[in-house]
Amino acid sequence: MLDKVDIRWIEETDSTQDEVRRHLSDYDNMSVVAARLQTAGRGQRGNKWHARGGENLTFSMLLRFVGNGFPPLDVSGNFRITKAATLAVVEYLGKKGIGSLIKWPNDIYVRNKKICGMLVENTLEGGTITSSIVGIGLNVNQKDFPPQLVNPTSMAALTGESYDLHSELEILSRCLASSFRRLLGGGDISAADQEYESLLYRKGSFHEYSVGQEGTRVEGKIIGVTPDGLLILENRKGELYQFAFKEISYII
Ligand code: BTN
């Protein structure tokens, strides 16, 4: 099925996440708000999201789980949202001839460089998610980046091509909509679980990680992710450890 998505472009806003939240009742399930320029784009771990205006995709998609939206989603299933979004971006980049992997939980990497980041913000009632705002920052035409960004890349930097942001957003939004239907629609998601694991950046080989508030260096091998989204790492002795997002960072 072709998922035509309702996309609203705005010239400038602080953050598309906040723009959607401020006008939540105006938007249907899977509507998209995209900004040419964000003046206060937000990233994970309280970081800012840097993206030069007019050169990249910075947008948020609203997911509704009540009314005309998806079936109710228990908060314990919230990692499905991340899974669906990451799989969709990898699929989209594949259509553009760019092979990418998922750096757990939700960065998209091409080799050792980040091309896309996501921020998933859920609204809960009791233990149920009522809505989710999925914010995506995809580096598209920008070729030079501020020095504070550790390892950025973009579609243009990788392919040498220049992309029309409006048409690319239409294609990407369709990938997202069909992935959300697949993972949040109530059907069997075991194949998607396997796809997510098979696309994990650094899966199956030993690398260094920084763990805990002290940043202790450990060596480990990613072997998978738990259903609720914890990273499973194995040490050289074959012992398994699980980490939440804030407990571990990659040394790249
Ligand atoms: C990260 O990797 O740190 C997450 C970046 C998420 C950035 C996107 S851009 C669109 C949306 N609006 C925001 O303020 N943030 C997200």
Kind of pairing between the strands at 32-38 and 7-13? parallel
Q: Are the CB atoms for 204 and 222 separated by under 8 Å?
A: yes
Residue 58: CB within 6 Å of ligand 1?
A: yes
* Model confidence pLDDT, tens digit, residues 183-237: 999 999 999 999 999 999 999 999 999 999 999 999 999 999 999 999 999 999 9
How much is the pTM? 0.97
Q: Are the CB atoms for 17 and 119 separated by under 8 Å?
A: yes
Under DSSP, the state recorded for 70 is P
- Is the bond preceding residue 105 a cis peptide, omega within 30 degrees? yes
Residue 224: CB within 6 Å of ligand 1?
A: no
Residue 104: CB within 6 Å of ligand 1?
A: no
Residue-by-residue DSSP string for 140-173 = -S-----TTSSSB--HHHHHS----HHHHHHHHH
* Model confidence pLDDT, tens digit, residues 26-74: 999 999 999 999 999 999 989 999 999 999 999 999 999 988 899 999 9
Q: Ligand 1 mean position to 213 CA, how many Å? A: 24
Measured distance CA(118)–CA(43) in Å, rounded: 7
* Cα torsion 212, 116, 96, 183: sign: positive
